[in-house]
């Protein structure tokens, strides 16, 4: 039974490998708590908050089984020229700087993505900003092919990996975001510029553009309660659209709970705690609702720790 499970896991690794190839090395499994690191999906979200923010994240998919997909996330977001929340909402332009590292491991397959992003947020009225962002990133895909049996050894992506040992890319993404302290709506075309660094490979690749949309609203019920619905949608040629939705409630800016839903993929529970204005932690649990989908097999656990740095501001994050 142990060997059977190991062979099944290896087969799924290969399936995910080819899926990743088709997706041009983008993050194939969006975070359930995507609002915690919005600049991963749209560089125009960099600097939306008025403080420096560090995020540490970990995601374990398919339960706690040996060789199951794991993601490690590090992100930082910094805002310039936003001395206080009052100034930031009264018509002052601000600039955001950010960076991230995401490492995904699935058995013998690993994917590393790093990037830096910047955005300028221009006031279009007293309370509304238009953010324009750019992101430059590096991605590297590698596979230990010694322990994996490939059904079609003539597959172009597999042959490239064997020849090069790994596949590396430089890419540039852009984004636009309209936002205030009550809502946000944004669009990002990922892969505007994508250049493979393995120039010694003669084979060509089809590099598709991924379109990402984000939208959310923050409704303040009263001085203690807030409610926020959010949507992340991805569209790409030759792939089915992917949607991640969640609805969260926050009490006294300290406790949050919510539910998430990805059609034909999973349902989620989300919980969080902010003991003070400097530290916040949140956890989500995903339950697969389509056991036949190899990319959402079993349960997933996700935890994100946020630390506010270098600021005496008492402002809580708008995107929580």
pLDDT, tens digit (0-9, with 9 covering 90-100), for 162-188: 555 678 889 999 999 999 989 999 999
Least confident of 214-218, 236-240, 252-256, 291-295: 291-295
User: Which is higher by pLDDT, 293 or 261?
Assistant: 261
Confirm if 110 and 149 have CB atoms less than 8 A apart. Answer: no
* Helix or strand run (H / E) with residue 138: strand 129-143
Average pLDDT score over residue span 14-41: 63
Note the pLDDT of residue 196.
79
SS3 of 201-263: CCCCCCCCCEEEEEEEECEECCCCEEEEEEEEEEEECCCCCEEEEEEEEEECCCEEEEEEEEC
Q: How confident is the model at residue 282 (pLDDT cuts 50, 70, 90)?
A: very high
Q: What is the pLDDT of residues 50-81, one digit of tens each?
A: 889 999 999 998 765 566 788 999 999 999 87
pLDDT attached to residue 9: 38
Q: Is the pLDDT of residue 17 over 60?
A: no
Where is average pLDDT lowest: 28-37, 122-131, 242-251, 287-296?
287-296
Q: Distance between alpha carbon 95 and the CA centroid of its chain, in Å? A: 21
For residues 195 and 242, the model is more confident at: 242
Binned at pLDDT 50, 70 and 90, residue 13 comes out as very low
Q: What DSSP line would sit under 5-74, residue for residue?
A: HHHHHHHHHHHHHHHHHHTTT--SS--TTGGGSGGGT-GGGTT-SSSEEEEEEEEE-SSS-TT--EEEEE
pLDDT at position 101: 95
> Of the spans 3-7, 132-136, 274-278, which averages the highest pLDDT?
132-136
Domain assignments of the chain as residue spans, ordered by start: 2-309
Evaluate if residue 102 carries a pLDDT over 90: yes
Closest CA to 296 of 27, 28, 66, 8: 28
**Out of 112-126, 199-213, 297-311, least confident range:** 199-213
Alpha-carbon distance of 28 to 16, in angstroms, equals 9
Say if residue 8's pLDDT is above 50. no
Does residue 20 or residue 317 have the better pLDDT? 317
Q: What is the pLDDT of residue 21?
A: 36
pLDDT digits (tens, 9 = 90+) for 187-239: 999 888 888 776 655 555 566 788 999 999 999 999 999 999 999 999 988 78
Backbone angles phi, psi at 278, to 5 degrees: -100, -25
Degrees to nearest 5, angle at CA 212 with 171 and 72: 65
CATH fold label, 2-309: Porin (2.40.160)
3-state SS, residue 195: strand
Residue range 258-283: mean pLDDT, rounded: 92
Q: Is the pLDDT of residue 2 over 50?
A: no
- Whole-number pLDDT of residue 167: 81
Query: Which has more confidence, 63 or 42?
Result: 42
Helix (H, G, I), strand (E, B) or coil at 137: strand
């Amino acid at each position: 039974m142990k060997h059977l499970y190991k062979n099944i896991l290896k087969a799924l690794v290969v399936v995910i490998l080819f899926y990743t190839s088709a997706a041009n090395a983008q993050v194939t499994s969006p975070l359930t708590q995507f609002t915690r690191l919005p600049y991963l999906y749209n560089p125009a979200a960099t600097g939306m908050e008025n403080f420096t923010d560090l995020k540490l994240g970990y995601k374990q998919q398919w339960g706690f089984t040996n060789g199951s997909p794991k993601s490690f996330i590090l992100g930082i977001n910094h805002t310039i020229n936003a001395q206080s929340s009052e100034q930031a909402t009264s018509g002052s332009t601000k600039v955001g700087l950010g960076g991230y590292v995401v490492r995904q491991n699935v058995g013998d397959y690993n994917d590393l993505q790093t990037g830096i992003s910047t955005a300028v947020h221009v006031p279009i009225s007293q309370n509304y900003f238009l953010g324009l962002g750019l992101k430059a990133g590096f991605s590297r895909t590698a596979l230990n092919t010694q322990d994996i049996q490939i059904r079609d050894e003539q597959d172009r992506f597999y042959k490239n990996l064997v020849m090069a040992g790994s596949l590396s890319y430089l890419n540039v993404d852009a984004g636009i975001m309209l936002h205030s302290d009550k809502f946000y709506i944004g669009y990002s075309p990922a892969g505007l510029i994508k250049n493979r660094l393995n120039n010694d490979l003669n084979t060509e690749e089809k590099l598709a553009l991924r379109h990402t949309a984000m939208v959310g609203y923050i409704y303040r019920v009263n001085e203690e309660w807030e409610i926020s619905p959010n949507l992340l949608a991805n569209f790409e040629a030759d792939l089915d659209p992917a949607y991640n939705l969640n609805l969260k409630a926050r009490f006294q800016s300290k406790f949050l709970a919510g539910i998430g839903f990805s059609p034909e993929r999973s349902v989620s529970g989300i919980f969080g705690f902010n003991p003070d204005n400097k530290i916040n932690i949140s956890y989500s649990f995903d339950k697969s609702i389509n056991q036949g989908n190899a990319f959402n097999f079993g349960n997933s656990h996700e935890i994100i720790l946020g630390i506010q740095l270098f600021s005496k501001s008492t402002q809580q994050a708008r995107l929580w």
